[in-house]
Amino acid sequence: MPDDGHGHAELLATQLADAEAQRDGLAQSVAALRAARGSTFDDDEHDPEGSTLSLEQARESALLASAERRVAELVAAQRRLADGTFGVCEVCGRTIPAGRTAARPEATRCVPCIGARPGR
């Protein structure tokens, strides 16, 4: 893994390991909930426990999706670090301040560009 001299490679590796551990944990709990729900699936509508399980499953699935997205973002950031485009805003092309990439190494936009386009 090449580094840019600011420790981003190490930071990304650490955060990626954390994100992957979180994702794996969530994947397990989603699978466990699915298995638990499978036995009560038939009368989900009338079974209070079944609907609690499906709510829980929806919540865990959403967390899992966001953990997967974070893993993908961190992997993409490692790729940018490797090809030399790390830390460059994808919108305006300016350098993202090191303070920001240290806090969020997966960031692909500088703060003003994030502000200009909410929802990302």
Is residue 92 a contact residue for Zn ion (CB under 5 A)?
yes
- Reading the block at residue 110, the tokens are 């500088």
Is residue 19 a contact residue for Zn ion (CB under 5 A)?
no
How far is 51 from 107, CA to CA, in rounded Å?
37
Stretch that binds Zn ion, among 54-62, 69-77, 79-87, 92-100 (CB under 5 A): 92-100
Closer of 60 and 73 to Zn ion (Cβ):
73
Mask for 30-69, x = binds Zn ion (CB under 5 A): ----------------------------------------
Is residue 81 a contact residue for Zn ion (CB under 5 A)?
no
> What values do phi and psi take at 88, rounded to 5?
-110, 130
Question: How many residues are there in the chain?
Answer: 120
CA atoms within 13 A on the CB side of 80: 20
Rg (CA), the chain: 19
| Count of residues near Zn ion by CB under 5 A | 5
